[in-house]
Structure 1
Amino acid sequence: MTEQPPRRERVVLSQRRNARMMRTRVEVQEQTEVGDALVRGLMRAQLGIALRLAAAVIVVIVAIPLTGTVFPWLTSVEILGVRLNWLVLVFALYPLLYVAGRIYVHFAEQAERDFLRVVDDETDHE
């Protein structure tokens, strides 16, 4: 006996969910009240990340000259004919700025992923 392939069924819930997701995305694109609130939340999250990271970087940058002021003998130290303050700039400050940029991008992208998850989850509860 030949086996017949299983009968195809139409799944309605997945189509409705896609329609809801589309409606929420349209609300964001058309800047309705709901969409505007969601986008403002994303912008606040990214601004918070930027401000906290900037504060941490500023603290480190301000600490470099303060260290030279508190310990004046450090400003005259030379390693291989190069003053220590230039070595600190090259090997500490610039990599710090690069790492801070990478950290910001990572957390900003995570905030965007969370934003998309909120938009998608919101459609599940309607």
Structure 2
Amino acid sequence: MTGEPASRQPAPRREVVTGEPRRVRPLPRYRAQAEIEEQTALGDAYVRSLMRSQLRAGLTAFALLALVAGTLPLAFATLRDATAVWVVLGFAAYPLLTLLAWWYVRRAERNERDFARLVKGRPVP
């Protein structure tokens, strides 16, 4: 007995591959882009998805704009002062409209960026 435990297994035999590697046909990198260019049903679904998200952003911005514009006559009726009306028109309405426009542009750009990532085959975060 050499002092080695009986349960020890010999190391597995290493195999060396000497042949040429197989040529594997790579998958197309831009499958979504090809689907869109070929106008297949899947490509149509991609484009409709982008259009639907852009329409949703536009309708949301329009609804908020209608809400702001719709409440202005109520504000004018409660104020009954010409100076206060001009203050509301000059200082209260424009920051809201600017904020709404800023939100819409950021949302539309994000939708387009997500769509471009989808088409290029990168995951959308």
Alignment partners' CA distance in 2, 1:30 and 1:67: 54
Partner residue in 1 for 2:68: 60
Alignment partners' CA distance in 2, 1:88 and 1:16: 63
Quote the RMSD (CA, aligned, Å). 2.7
Equivalent residue letter for 2:94: Y
Q: How much has 1:98 moved relative to structure 2?
A: 2.1
Q: How much has 1:56 moved relative to structure 2?
A: 1.4
Secondary structure class of the residue paired with 2:29: helix
**Change in CA separation of 1:29 and 1:93 when aligned onto 2, cut-off 3 Å:** farther
Partner residue in 1 for 2:80: 75
Partner residue in 2 for 1:33: 41
Alignment partners' CA distance in 1, 2:68 and 2:100: 11
1:101 aligns with 2:111: no
Identity of aligned residues (%): 41
Could you tell me which runs of 5 or more consecutive residues in structure 2 were left unpaired when the two chains were aligned. 1-22
Cα shift readout 1:16-47 (whole Å, capped 9, x = no counterpart): 35x331x3212213322111110111000010
Partner residue in 1 for 2:115: 115
**Change in CA separation of 1:37 and 1:66 when aligned onto 2, cut-off 3 Å:** same
Which one has the largest radius of gyration? 2
Cα shift readout 1:63-108 (whole Å, capped 9, x = no counterpart): 1211222x2xx1225xxxxx21122112122232222111111011
**Which protein has the bigger helix share?**
1
TM-score by length of 2: 0.67
